[in-house]
Amino acid sequence: HGAAEPEETGTEALPRRTPAPAWLPTAKGEEGDFCLRSSDCAAGLCCARHFWSKICKPVLREGQVCTRHRRKGAHGLEIFQRCQCAEGLACRPQREPGPADASRLHTCQRH
């Protein structure tokens, strides 16, 4: 006899699905999609907290309000996190005429 005969079930055997290896490119999350880390999001987006989950949000552009953290780890306390400023921009106090510290608002500004 030698080789064992496969059982006939009347249907073709379907290949077993296995998860894709991590090195295979996968679709990146769009704005508003759930994520675990920024690498899960498409270009120009970061993964940030929104209530008690995390979603892909846009990276901040020049002139947009940003959050400056005085203490390391304070970012984790926010319910609504913002992304960081885009490359080439820094989160700095908004330049406004008037007394110093008149505004604590920070915006993304060119270096």
- Average pLDDT over every residue of 98-111: 76
16 assigned to some structural domain: no
CB 34 within 8 A of CB 54: yes
pLDDT tens by residue, 2-47: 555 554 445 555 556 655 555 555 689 999 999 999 999 999 999 9
Query: Which range of residues forms the domain containing residue 103?
Result: 33-70+79-110
List, as one string, the DSSP characters of 75-111: GGG-SB--PPBPTTEEEEE---SSSTTS---EEEEE-
Confidence of residue 98 (pLDDT cuts 50, 70, 90): low
SS3 46: strand
Tell me the pTM.
Answer: 0.65
pLDDT tens by residue, 58-90: 999 999 999 876 666 555 567 899 999 999 999
CB 90 within 8 A of CB 108: yes
Token pair of 93, please?
A: 């106090």
CATH code, 87 = 2.10.80.10
5 assigned to some structural domain: no
Beta bridge partners of 80: 50
